Amino acid sequence: MTGPQNLLEIKNLCIEGRSGTSWSNIVNGIDLTLERGEVIGLIGESGAGKSTIGLAAMGFARDGCRISDGTILFDGIDLRAASVSARRKLRGNRIAYVAQSAAASFNPAYKLIDQYCEGPVLHGSMERDKAESDAIELYRRMQLPSPDEIGFRYPHQVSGGQLQRAMTAMAMACRPDLIVFDEPTTALDVTTQIEVLSAIRDIVGQFNTAAIYITHDLAVVAQMADRIKVLLRGEEVEESDTKTMLKTPKEEYTKSLWAVRTYARPEHPLQSTQETPVLSVENVSASYGDLQVLFDASFDIHRRQTVAVVGESGSGKSTAARVISGLLPPETGTVKFEGERLPPEYKRRSKNQLRQIQMIYQMADTALNPKHRIRELIGRPAELYLGLRGKALEERVRELLSLIELEPDEYIDRMPSELSGGQKQRIGIARALAAEPQVIICDEVTSALDQLVAEGILKLLDQIQDKFGLAYMFITHDLATVRSIADEVVVMKEGRVVETGPKTKMFTPPHHPYTELLLSSVPEMDASWLDRLLESRANKNVEK
Amino acid sequence: MGSVWKMVAHRLGLGLLTMFVISILIFGAIELLPGDLAEEILGQSATPETVAAFRKEIGLDKPPVTRYVEWLGNVVQGNLGRSLANGREISELIGSRLPNTLFLALYATVLAVPIALTLGILAALYRNTLFDRLINITTLTSISFPEFFLAYLLIFFLAQTGLFPSMSNIGPKMGLSGKIYNTFLPALTLTFVVTAHMMRMTRAAIVNLLASPYIEMAKLKGVSPLWVIVRHALPNAFAPIINVVALNLAYLITGVVVVEVVFVYPGLGQLMVDSVSKRDITVVQAVSLIFACAYILLNLTADVLSTLSNPRLIHKR
Amino acid sequence: MKIIKSLRTAPPTAWFGFVVVTIYLIVAIFAPLIAPYGEREIVGDEYVAWDSQFIFGTDALGRDMFTRLVFGARNTVGIAFVTTVLAFVVGAVFGLLAAVVGGWLDQLLSRTVDVLMAIPSLIFKLLLLTIFGTSVVNMVLIIALIDSTRVYRLARSVAMNIVVMDYIEAARLRGERLPRLIIREILPNAMAPLVAEFGLRFCFVFLAISALSFLGLGIQPPTADWGSMVRENASLISFGDITPLLPAAAIALLTVAVNFIVDWMLHRASGLKD
């Protein structure tokens, strides 16, 4: 076993997944090679089989999956043919794994450092005390705060971004040849994501570790990978080095993925500032129990306008929506609809007031009653608010279905479980429209969807807005979405409104410092973006 | 650390409150009698004068609150009153039987807990195999059997042959080995019932955890399957398992009633059943109070222990 | 439709359960046609051994064992079923209400149930039976009351998981009224666990009634009932006669059958989720 040899060589990998009693292919004939020290990015939408392939590179298949064909050679060892114990000796030792949710993937019963040391001690590469000092060294290299001490905390005592770095350090414990990163930053806020990305990139570079980097975010993979492989439904679409892939993708599918980020709708300029806003939030403060989550927040929403409310998790943007809808009565401040004060609690609002403000939810799965047919889901608001019955109701439901581009005959009697994620979200839109409201609150409506599907939803929302003159309150954490659909932007941080104004003003400097931080943290489709950003931030710190 | 002890103190306070409410409930139960205690004891034929005199004698003429306070004061001092049926001191009646019942429950516990936990872990480890399915069917069947059916089955197969006695005569002078031998069948009956429950719940608690991402992480670190369960799943399953054990020990308390009757075992359950058929309300009241307190104490202990086993609660942010 | 379809893939244990339950139903419904003698009729000597005339012999009073076993299906199972329905309706209605309405109603109901559940159930039943006297009606009401607290707990926790769903929030914001919220929005989603709970609850109630009857505090003679039949004939065991085990086995078999069905249903429900 001498001479130049690929570290990982996967040929014709096929993996089957069980649904009920039958097996179907979820990964179909994938080839993958990886040299020592090389990073390959696997990118694709949900159901592309990215994680499954990543785990297969460790010779591992989840419950309900099985590797049905192909060869997996790791450093010359055939992982499929190897004995169970031989595979176990490799895992955590020469091939390591970093999971998507560090919070869930650390065992809550043990301190971080105990979990770090488990691998080296188990595989016999280090004694316990040696492993401990090594852990502290790696925590330091991962730029974790107080590295001497952080390992002696329990997982629930450490923040998400720090846990993700601690998990990367843990993966490094045995100095593996290969690490599989499975969407390590997906659950994090953009500003935290930067720190984790740069830490991961540094350490992988320092130890010359090869990596498989799995993500659905193009801009992220562009920063991390030497080569990119695009996957669709368990099959390879194309593969090339990162630069080529970004500049000149060959396949239509890849091009469409790339194009999503460029969608923008024409702005709707505000007709006159004199007009009464459809909805105004005035000096609202609100709390959950003792915890105050909204501090003196104010903003207006005008007819035909989309107001994007942006912020990271915990910024209070969803709380604002709960106050408007009447689910969380504010402690002080008022919500006005067309200049009239709305009762703070939804139970006190009239049917007509309820009808005027509708919600579309992030998770279409839980927003539609799984035991109701589409007919009832869409028809109920029309029946309740507008008194439609029988034939008129059926007509209305069909009309709404056509509006959301679903064939009425085919869909009217389906159950939610018989729809795809994007279709469910469309039903959510139709249900809101059925009430014939003035304002629709869209709470992260696209964040659970794949990019192409999300784009379709955004376009649909735009068409509907033009047609009915609706006002949208669009809650999102994604600045790309803001850029493509907003007229006005409200930036929130820790329960406070930091900045408001028209989109164009928002995206042109000078920015509010927090807006600046947010804007600069959004990964760009440019392989050198992360380097430039880190450099510019470092310079700023020097200036200070 | 402080907040955990606050939680524990809170639980203890709640437990005390529950016992207090229960004592009111059990005391108040007599007040629900269609007539009252005096009429109940003297029967239909007694003249109103005799009834009134008797009321005065046993203090029934006082307002309920006063009587409750007096009753509770007596109970706390171990004075449980007299039996209506034979006028004997209740504390005397119970005194000899309570240790017997506790002995039987403890006996069954010692047999059941290790077996149940081991089988539960094994079933979780080999889940969805033939072994697991076999255990599932066996335990499900065992749960479905009425206790007296199990008891008579054991008598039929083990006592018929003269291997073990079907009547569990035990006396205060009997040695420990004799006691263990004589009460083997009732203890075995209880073990069957409780083991099945406990084992199923242990398995469920562990299997539930095995779907967690940190278990997958452990596997991907190269940890062996047994070690995954012992080191990674079990410490997190403590809380549910403690509750399972407590729940079943509590179940034992009621389970003994039927089993004691079948094996003519001189315990509290037997006394309770006899008193119910004689409508000896004061005895039933006292025994209920004892059972209820034991039950609450067990659940309380489980609550406190599972709180203390949760790292999220012990190590605050 | 769906049930029939999924029955095809049901494991043998579930099949066994369905067959046994069906047989019990038939026996209970057609008891007078199946039984050779009258329920309380004295037809021979005491403790006659098994023969062609009395296939399972006779009991302490000379009544036909087989006949009483058949009528027991009607009495014991019937009473247990009625009790379960009572317990279930009371517990489920209050449990759902508590979860949906919340606030003080939930607090009041839940704390009451906490207290009632702090007394071991058999002990509580015995206490109440002493006070109100042992009769079938009292027993049914007492067991129904005490077991309804357990149903309440389950129904409430199932409903709690549903109430936090966005579609319930949407229905509330739409202005739906309480009855519709419970019946149309929550109940259809709570059906699977509730049906399983009904099965389990039936087993518990059935075993409880049998235990009480066995202790002589439940269904009273001369009504043919399996629990009391075991008690009446228990002494035969020591003579190596298995006759008293028959009614006990009848109880066990039905409980096993129902448990097998419930186990399959729960397994299926959890399987559908992932």
- Encode pLDDT of A276-298 as tens digits: 889 999 999 999 888 888 999 99
**Which chain B residues are closer than 8 Å to C13 by Cβ?**
137
Question: Residues in chain C whose beta carbon is closer than 8 A to a beta carbon of chain A?
Answer: 9, 165-167, 169-176, 184-185, 188-189, 274
Do B228 and B113 sit in the same domain of this protein?
Answer: yes
CATH assignment at residue B234: 1.10.3720.10
- Per-residue model confidence as pLDDT tens digits over B260-284: 998 888 889 889 988 888 888 888 8
- The structure's pTM equals 0.85
Residues 276-295 of B with CB under 8 A from C: 276-277, 279-281, 284-285, 287-288, 291-292, 295
Q: Hey, are the CB atoms on C9 and A359 less than 8 Å from each other?
A: no
Same domain membership, residue B152 and residue B253: yes
Total tally of structural domains belonging to chain B:
2
The answer on B136 and B24 residing in a single domain is no
Give C223's pLDDT tier (boundaries 50, 70, 90). confident
What chain C holds in terms of domains, given with CATH numbers, is: 27-268 (1.10.3720.10)
Window 257-316 of B, Cβ < 8 Å to A: 311-312, 315-316
Question: Which residues of chain A does B223 touch, with a Cβ-Cβ cutoff of 8 Å?
Answer: 88, 92, 118, 122
Round to whole Å and give the CA distance between C195 and C201.
10
Specify if B46 maps to a domain. Answer: yes
Question: Is B241 among the domain residues?
Answer: yes
Q: Of the candidates C30, C176, C155, which has an alpha carbon nearest to the alpha carbon of residue C90? A: C155
Contact C237 B285 (CB under 8 A): no
Q: Tokens for A231?
A: 């996957």
Q: Are B269 and B98 in contact (CB under 8 A)?
A: no
pLDDT tier, A2 (very low <50, low <70, confident <90, very high otherwise): very low
Q: What gap in Å lies between CA A38 and CA A210, rounded to an integer? A: 5
Report d(CA B11, CA B300) in Å as an integer. 7
Q: Is B302 on the interface with C (CB under 8 A)?
A: no
Asked if residue A108 has a cis previous peptide bond (ω within 30° of 0), the answer is no
B108 and B56 in a common domain: no
Residue A239, pLDDT above cutoff 80? yes
Q: What domains can be seen in chain A, in order of their start residue? A: 6-256 (3.40.50.300), 279-375+414-508 (3.40.50.300)
Q: Name all chains with 3 or more CB-CB pairs below 8 Å to chain B.
A: A, C
Closest to A366 (Cβ–Cβ): which among C167, C171, C175? Answer: C167
How far is the C-alpha of A331 from the C-alpha of A292, rounded, in Å? 10
Q: What is the DSSP letter of A114?
A: H
Contacts with A424 (C-beta within 8 Å, 6 or more apart), sequence order? A364, A365, A367, A368, A416
Mean pLDDT in residue range B65-88: 82
C-beta neighbour count of A38 within 10 angstroms: 19
Residue A197 contacts residue A530 (beta carbons within 8 Å)? yes
B92 touches chain A (CB under 8 A): no
- B42 and B104 belong to one structural domain: no
Q: Do C124 and B288 touch (CB under 8 A)?
A: yes
In a domain, B210, yes or no: yes
- Contact: A359, C170; criterion CB under 8 Å: yes
A62 touches chain B (CB under 8 A): yes
| C-chain residues near B145 (CB < 8 A) | 252, 255-256
The residue of B3, B217, B230 whose CB has the most chain A CBs within 10 angstroms, and thus the best one to mutate to test that interface, is B217
Pick from B25, B144, B153, B285 the residue to mutate for testing the C interface (most C CBs within 10 Å).
B144
Chain B, window 20-79: residues with a beta carbon less than 8 angstroms from a chain C beta carbon? 21-22, 25-26, 29-30, 32-33
**C170 contacts in chain A (CB < 8 Å):** 359, 361, 367, 431
Q: B269 and B211 share a domain? A: yes
Dihedral, CA atoms, A432, A434, A439, A443, nearest 10 degrees? 0
Shortest Cα distance, chain A CAs vs residue C109, angstroms: 23
Residues B154 and B65 in one domain: no
**Contact: C9, A21; criterion CB under 8 Å:** yes
Residues in B closer than 8 angstroms to A118, CB to CB, are 221, 223
Cβ atoms of C125 and C143 within 8 Å: the answer is yes
Are the Cβ atoms of C175 and A351 closer than 8 angstroms?
yes
Give B174 or B262, the one with higher predicted confidence. B262
Nearest-CA distance from A369 to chain C in Å? 6
> What is the rounded average pLDDT for all residues in chain B?
83
pLDDT score of A306: 92
Is B209 a domain residue? yes
Q: How far apart are CA B184 and CA B188, in angstroms?
A: 6
Determine the 3-state secondary structure of A275 from DSSP: coil
Range name among A332-341, A527-536, B34-43 with the lowest pLDDT average: B34-43
- For residue A93, pLDDT beyond 80: yes
Paired residues of A40 in beta bridges: A212, A227
| C113 vs B: CB within 8 A | no
CB A305 within 8 A of CB A488: yes
Residues 162-201 of B with CB under 8 A from C: 166
The reply to whether residue B291 touches residue C119, judged by beta carbons under 8 angstroms, is yes
- Residues C181-216: tens digit of each pLDDT: 999 999 999 988 899 889 999 999 999 999 999 998
Asked whether residue B170 is domain-assigned, the answer is yes
Residue B93 lies in a domain: no
Which of B21, B144, B287 is nearest residue C255 as measured by Cβ atoms? Answer: B144
Range of the domain at B251: 98-313
Per-residue pLDDT band for C157 (boundaries 50, 70, 90) equals very high
Calculate mean pLDDT across residues C88-116. 92
Q: Which helix (H) or strand (E) holds A32?
A: strand A22-34
Burial label for B161, CB within 10 Å (0-12, 13-18, 19+), is exposed
Of B10, B43, B76, the residue at which a domain comes to its end is B76
Q: Are residues B138 and B238 in the same domain?
A: yes
Q: Mutate one of A63, A89, A105 to test the B interface: name it (highest B CB count within 10 A).
A: A105
Q: Which residue has the higher pLDDT, B308 or A283?
A: A283
Q: Is B236 on the interface with A (CB under 8 A)?
A: yes
Q: Which residues in chain C are closer than 8 Å to B257, comparing Cβ atoms?
A: 122-123, 126, 211, 215
Distance from the Cα of A57 to chain B's closest Cα (Å) equals 11
Which residue of A lies nearest to C272 if distances are taken between CA atoms?
A20
Instruction: Name chain C contacts of B26, Cβ cutoff 8 Å.
Output: 119, 127
The mean per-residue pLDDT over the stretch A378-406 comes to 93
Gap from A368 CA to chain C (nearest CA, Å): 5
**B295 plus B224 within the same structural domain:** yes
Output DSSP code: residue C264: H
Contact A106 B214 (CB under 8 A): yes
Query: Smallest CA–CA separation between A470 and chain C, in Å?
Result: 18
Given a cut of 80, whether residue A19 has pLDDT beyond it is: no
CB-CB under 8 Å, C248 with B257: no
Of residues B11 and A439, the one with the higher pLDDT is A439
The mean pLDDT of chain A is 87
CB contact under 8 A, B312 and A156: yes
pLDDT per residue over B179-230, tens digit each? 888 888 999 999 988 898 889 888 888 888 888 889 999 999 989 888 888 8
- Measured between beta carbons, which residues in chain C are less than 8 angstroms from residue A381? 174
Against chain A, the chains showing at least 3 CB pairs within 8 Å are B, C
pLDDT at residue B164 above 80?
no
Nearest residue to C59 (alpha-carbon basis) of C68, C51, C72? C68
The CA angle C265-C267-C270, to the nearest 5 degrees, is: 110
- Tell me the residue ranges of DSSP E strands in A44-154: 65-74, 77-78, 95-98
CB contact under 8 A, B291 and C120: yes
Nearest-5° Cα angle at A378, A377 to A381:
95
State yes or no: pLDDT of B1 exceeds 60.
Answer: no
Q: Do residues B127 and B197 both lie within one domain?
A: yes
Closest CA to C253 of C45, C22, C2: C22
Same-domain check for residues B194 and B252: yes
Residue B34 has pLDDT above 70, yes or no: no
Say yes or no to pLDDT of B58 above 70. Answer: no
Residue A3 pLDDT > 60: no
* pLDDT more than 70, % of chain C: 96
How far is it between the farthest Cα atoms of chain B? 86
**C-beta atoms of A60 and B232 within 8 A:** no
Whether B113 and B232 share a structural domain = yes
C260 interfaces chain B, CB cutoff of 8 Å: yes
- Mean per-residue pLDDT for B46-55? 75
CA distance A321 to A328: 9
Nearest to A354 among C165, C175, C188 (CB): C175
What mean pLDDT is predicted for residues C77-81? 93
Asked if residue B187 belongs to a domain, the reply is yes
Element of type H or E holding A351: helix A351-356
A/C interface, count of CB pairs below 8 Å: 44
Task: Count Cβ atoms within 10 A of the Cβ of residue A9 and give its class: 0-12 exposed, 13-18 middle, 19 or more buried.
Answer: middle
Question: For residue range A28-43, what is the model confidence (pLDDT) as tens digits?
Answer: 888 888 988 889 999 8
Residue at B92 is within a domain: no
Whether residue A119 and residue B214 make contact (CB cut-off 8 A), yes or no, is: no
**Which chain A residues have a beta carbon less than 8 Å from that of B218?**
107
User: Residues of B with CB below 8 A from C258's CB?
Assistant: 144
